[in-house]
Amino acid sequence: MKPERRASERRTAPTRRDEITREEALALALDNLPIGVGLFHMDALPVFMNRRFMDMFGVPDGYLASPLTFMQAAEGGHLENWRQDPAEYFRRLTEALRQGRDYEAELGIGERVYYAHNRLIGERHLLATIVDITERVQAERRVAHLAHHDPLTDLPNRAAFAEKLAGVMEEARARGQKFAVLSADLDRFKDVNDIFGHGVGDALLREVAHRFRRSIGDNFLARLGGDEFTFISLDANQPEAAGVLARRLFASASGEVECAGHTLMVGLSIGIAIFPDDGADAATLLNNADAALYRAKSDGRGVIRSFAPQTDQRIREQRLLQQELRLAVPRGELALHYQPQSRVDGEFTGFEALLRWQHPTRGLLMPDQFIALAEENGLIVEIGEWVLREAAREAAGWARPLVVSVNLSPVQFRHGDLPALIHAILIETGLPASRLEVEITEGVLVDDFARAIAVLRRIKALGVHVAMDDFGIGYSSLSYLQAFPFDTLKIDRSFIARLGSESHTDEIVRAVIGLGRGLRLPIVAEGVETPEQLAFLAGEHCAGIQGYLIGRPRPIADYAEAVGRPHAARRRRAAG
């Protein structure tokens, strides 16, 4: 085939004969292939190119009429739509062929991406095939982008942050320089989700991410998840540069934000850790920035805190304990101890179920060591359900119809349907509602009075008793008694501990017991530890007592006889 014949001429059907030659049929077939095909002399002078090949490479129609080698075409500027240097491509191609190797490459031409494969045919010719792989490359790029970017905000994600941090750390180590990591999250972002819905929360995150992008300059920003953003302050002038960046972030993301038709108040808390002062490896540096952030939130939110080794070490230990607490329920590490409640004459009326955590390395932990942590991250909802179910299951098996008391957290009133849960547990365990008492503190009513009262009324409608715990230490206890018909008041142990030593305390306890009598409301005194305290309470006709004097919190097996399991008690004594 002569190289000077044009592709359009080769594709034209013959008009002066009834048959076409094999050569013409082959040319027509090649022109209709979905891939580009070109045959060249070893000097890169074209012998044949199908239309697809010419279109892909951007070869003009007149090119075959006065053919140039591709090297000449490249040097003459005829391949100007290439996104890389065409002359360099043909130099590499020529070098590979001289060494007897095939040559493969991806080419960007115009807006498309092609895969080209070149191989020797005999000793004198080169066969080039080219395939359009634009869609595949774009898909691969999208996948690669998604692997390193957060789909909601399009910011770099945790994987991209880890990669960037490793590179920055290696360079800083080599140069003996500093840099900073800043951990930040939005104050009360959870409230936005709870009140306005996750759609508004997502819109807020996108808006804040946009503002952060405009504020960070040459520094690095990533979203690690939720409302947690992390920054790398690349300036070696630390900690001053980190402080400047933190203040810019505050300015960009604080105050009112118009978002999805709502005006939202946004605040920011930031923790800062400096390399290498606050951590010489990635994990330590990030953990210390997080510890500083945690302290910023504990200090009232809306502030910047730099890592302080001694203070933040304690905070980090608390956070570790909080993480370990997540596994306590599935691992069966939680247990209930039971403290008896009785009348002043010593007859048991019931037991209060008190939570314990048998930590695998720290030993037996009391509620004051972990309940606040569980309330902070919402885990108390799961734990509280476990306590209710376990206490009801245990009490349902007692031969004596004693009451079991369970403490409820304010958090449980804000999440889920607490009355429905209690009802389901009563049905599941077979415990009569009259034998379950739930105890609340004033904090339940302070958070959301109307909602709390509505929930308590539904609980009481089940037949469950409701007690106010720690009575006397709050601010509005009397108004609460007016708003809701409690079944029991429990005098806080701090008053009982001072009986006989402070005359005004005696009068307060006497007044509370009198109040209970007037309201026909049983009063239970907590923390009774001495016969003198018991005598005072008996003299005032207090309805009930609870404290070490009648029994410490213990596994229920220690009270087997009291709950009507004499055989279990005898077996336990024999084993002991």
Mean pLDDT of 522-538: 94
Q: Are 275 and 178 in contact (CB under 8 A)?
A: yes
**pLDDT bracket for residue 178 (50, 70, 90):** very high
The CA–CA distances, whole Å, from 525 to 384, 506, 528, 549 equal 24, 13, 7, 12
Q: Would you state the pLDDT for residue 427?
A: 97
Instruction: Report the length, in residues, of the chain.
Output: 576
**pLDDT bracket for residue 402 (50, 70, 90):** very high
Tokens of 116: 């080209």
Q: Which tens digit of pLDDT belongs to each residue from 269-311?
A: 999 999 999 999 999 999 899 889 988 887 777 789 999 887 7
Mean pLDDT score across all residues of the chain: 84
Tokens of 469: 């715990």
DSSP string, 360-382: TTTEEE-GGGTHHHHHHTTTHHH
Give the amino acid at 42: M
Q: Are 153 and 223 in contact (CB under 8 A)?
A: yes
Residues above pLDDT 90, as percent of the chain? 44
Strand positions, DSSP E, 360-507: 363-365, 403-407, 436-440, 465-471, 488-491
Sketch out the chain's domains with CATH numbers: 7-137 (3.30.450.20), 149-324 (3.30.70.270), 326-575 (3.20.20.450)
- Higher-pLDDT residue of 41 and 29 is 41
Mean pLDDT of 322-334: 91
Q: Would you state the pLDDT for residue 253?
A: 82
Within 10 angstroms of residue 56's Cβ, the number of other Cβ atoms is 22
Residue 514 and residue 321: Cα distance in Å, rounded? 44
**For strand 304-306 and strand 268-275, is the pairing parallel, antiparallel, or unpaired?**
parallel
The residue with tokens 């009774």 is 528
Please give the model's pTM, rounded to 2 decimal places. 0.58
N-terminal to C-terminal alpha carbon distance within the chain: 106
Q: Would you state the pLDDT for residue 8?
A: 40
Q: Which tens digit of pLDDT belongs to each residue from 414-433?
A: 888 999 999 999 999 999 99
* pLDDT exceeds cutoff 60 at 16: no
Mean pLDDT of 455-483: 85
Mean pLDDT of 352-374: 93
